Amino acid sequence: MLFYDEVKKLFPETSGIHLPGFAFLVVSNSTRMGMEKGLYVPFGDEIDLFESIEKGAIASLWPKNKEVPSFVPNHFPLFMVEDVYKAYIDLLENYKQNYNQEKWEIMTKFISNNESEQNQTMDILSNESNNGKGGE
């Protein structure tokens, strides 16, 4: 499970409310599906912060050099980053290193509408499951 505090350690510059202890169920750059308790990552062809909030996102990565839209609620945390795509990759790698399915019953889903990112995500998850303990 990916927690707000872990994302804050990676990207300490934030705006909006702090949500210590909150967990993200989804990390995605796509607003095509529900994002209940999601972390929105705005990169690629489909960037729509407003729709991500409507779909259930509770926070987002956001480029430092871009103005925060006026519709963003004060209680919606934004992690300010230099490069959103690079931040997404860093977050994915960090999650992979700390991945421990035995510790958590519910895992955070990383979803991308970019085909190369989907392949990378699947490779990471399959490598982790192959390196984990077998069933007894």
pLDDT digits (tens, 9 = 90+) for 39-78: 999 998 778 999 999 999 999 999 999 999 999 998 999 9
Domain with 123 in it: what CATH number?
Answer: 3.40.1390.10
CB 87 within 8 A of CB 29: no
Task: Write out the residue range of the structural domain in which residue 76 sits.
Answer: 2-131
Residue 20 lies in a domain: yes
Residue 15 lies in a domain: yes
> Strand order in 14-15's β-sheet?
14-15, 78-81, 57-63, 38-40, 26-28, 109-111
Residue 36 lies in a domain: yes
Domain count for the chain: 1
Tokens of 127: 């490598």
Tokens of 121: 């995500």
pLDDT per position as a tens digit, 3-48: 999 999 999 999 999 988 899 999 999 998 899 999 999 998 778 9
Q: What predicted TM-score, i.e. pTM, was given to this entire model?
A: 0.76
Residue 88 lies in a domain: yes
Residue 32 lies in a domain: yes
Residue 93 lies in a domain: yes
Q: Strands, E, within 64-133: which ranges?
A: 78-81, 109-111
